Amino acid sequence: MKTLYLAGGCFWGTQKFLDQFDGVAETEVGYANGRTANPTYEEVCRKGTGHAETVRVEYDETKLSTQDLLRYYFMTIDPLSVNRQGNDIGTQYRTGIYYLTDDAAPEDVELVEDIYTVLEEVKARVGRPLAVEVLPLQNFYTAEEYHQKYLDKNPGGYCHIPRNLLHLEAE
């Protein structure tokens, strides 16, 4: 199993989108790479904590490659937008790919190489520099329970991702 942390605007839609793919074993929404410990949603939205709404994705690379996972991720974001996705505006809605790494582990070096391969593909396609952070994970705090699988509990809830993308596997 591998783990990536993907910030793609509001974490509700990103989690719902990623959950549909064979090979995704588990997702969890939370707050990543901020300046405070154990932030609440209210603090992330209003107190300038520096956290990004992020989804922790555990996946089986024998079923879903890192590159394919990231290609799916890029289907749901505007990679040129700074601190905004859809109607959501603020630093907590920035886009980012965060990874755990041990520079001595060959599989971690390969993971980072896979990330940059996909970034270069997207950059070539859009023809401009991307506004997607790519950084080692500094911290991740699990969001409140009511945010976990939010769109499953509230199917009519707001989502910046087009609804048809939330059901690709079923097609």
Give CA angle at 118 (114, 122), nearest 5°. Answer: 170
Query: Tokens 């996946």, residue?
Result: 59
Whether residue 45 lies in the annotated active site: no
Nearest-angstrom CA–CA distance, 7 and 94: 7
CA distance 72 to 91: 22
What's the CA gap between 56 and 106, in Å, rounded?
22
Q: Is the dihedral of CA 55, 60, 64, 70 positive or negative?
A: positive
Q: Which of 4, 6, 7, 10 is catalytic?
A: 10
Query: Which residue is listed with tokens 């990679």?
Result: 79
- 27 forms beta bridges with 57
Q: 56 and 30 in contact (C-beta within 8 Å)?
A: yes
Query: So which residues are the catalytic ones?
Result: 10
